[in-house]
Amino acid sequence: MRVVRQAVLLLRSELRQELRDFELLLSAGFFTLVLLAMFYLSFASLPVKHSLPAVPAMLWLTIAFVGVLTLTRAFDREREADTLRALLAAPVERLAIYLAKAALCLLVLMLCCLVLVPGLWLMFPGGAAFAEQPGQTALLVLLGCGGYVAVGTLFAAGLATGGGKNTLLFIILYPLTTPILLYALATTRALLDRHPDLPGFLGQMAALDLILFALAALLFETVLVGAGVAHRPRDRPRDRNLSRKPAP
């Protein structure tokens, strides 16, 4: 319960800051619109049979790009004032920090999807199934974004505290999120094809999300603070050269 209470407090603080400058929402929303416009200009003339396989790619490419932008900006706020270290030194459960950041990024991505999914439906005939199955579409987007955010929050936090460059996030994140993006692509294709086993696809995505969230939650403290426990010097041969300077 303490974790949940602290996560809610942190998320409320994040939202309060976001509602003052709309920094995340504006950058992510504008980028979504730009990508939609580019996709439309490039693929609007495709016949239906060709646009059908392109729609899942457009959906998840946009989410991948907007997601990394959101994760970067979400932790830049912490990086600029070094506030993440203040939270880490406070009696705040690390899991609460993770949950709050992940929830914020998921919320931003879902709001972008409120533009993206109807946009794809309106612009491409292949996206008509989104409107026909709104419940499954919402669940698909939620599960896909959830898995992406589960992994992304972990590494974005690690880079924010470790002084890593934001460009590293792009390099690290895309290979690691490939499984969830591939699953999401396959499930989106199943949805657009009205595949009878769509619930099975969604169930597998939900299971993958659970695994990713559990792994990320387990690793979050290690990524932020460092692995393992302190070892005695005698246990660490490599520390023998750390000579103690005698007191004068």
Partner 1 sequence: MSAAALRPDAEQPAPVAALTGVAQRFGRQVVLRSVDLELPAGTIVGLVGANGAGKTTLFSILAGLLQPDAGERHLFGSPADEVDAAARARLAYVAHAPQLYAGLSARENLALFADLRRACGLTTRPADEVLLALGLPLAVLDRPLATHSRGMAQRVALARALAGRPELLLLDEPFTALDARGREQLAQVLLAERARGAAILLSSHDFDTLLAICDRVVLLERGALVRSAAHEGDRAEFRRSAAAIWQAGPDDPVSPAPDLC
Of 18 and 209, nearer to partner 1 (C-beta) is 18
Find the DSSP H helices in the chain.
2-21, 23-43, 48-81, 83-89, 94-123, 128-132, 134-162, 166-192, 198-225
Q: Could you give the C-alpha distances from 90 to 3, 9, 96, 124, 134, in angstroms and in order?
A: 13, 14, 12, 50, 43
Of 171 and 247, nearer to partner 1 (C-beta) is 247
Separation CA 182–CA 247 (nearest Å):
61
In the complex, minimum distance from the CB of residue 125 to partner 1, in angstroms, rounded to a whole number: 43
Of 171 and 242, nearer to partner 1 (C-beta) is 242
Separation CA 142–CA 122 (nearest Å):
20
Of 199 and 233, nearer to partner 1 (C-beta) is 233
Q: Could you give the C-alpha distances from 59 to 2, 119, 140, 141, in angstroms and in order?
A: 37, 10, 11, 9
Of 44 and 86, nearer to partner 1 (C-beta) is 86
Of 50 and 85, nearer to partner 1 (C-beta) is 85
Type of residue found at 134: P
Of 57 and 88, nearer to partner 1 (C-beta) is 88
In the complex, minimum distance from the CB of residue 213 to partner 1, in angstroms, rounded to a whole number: 21
In the complex, minimum distance from the CB of residue 173 to partner 1, in angstroms, rounded to a whole number: 24
In the complex, minimum distance from the CB of residue 77 to partner 1, in angstroms, rounded to a whole number: 7
In the complex, minimum distance from the CB of residue 19 to partner 1, in angstroms, rounded to a whole number: 10
In the complex, minimum distance from the CB of residue 15 to partner 1, in angstroms, rounded to a whole number: 11
* Residue environment code for 3-34, b if the CB has 16+ CB neighbours within 10 A, otherwise e: beebbeebbeebeeebeeeeebbebbbebbee
Residues that bind partner 1 (CB under 8 A): 2, 5-6, 9-10, 13, 16-17, 20-21, 77, 80-83, 85-86, 88-93, 225-233, 235-236, 239, 242-248
Helix axes 94-123, 23-43, angle to 10 degrees: 30
Separation CA 184–CA 97 (nearest Å):
26
Closest by CA position to 123, among listed 174, 217, 59, 198: 59
In the complex, minimum distance from the CB of residue 239 to partner 1, in angstroms, rounded to a whole number: 4
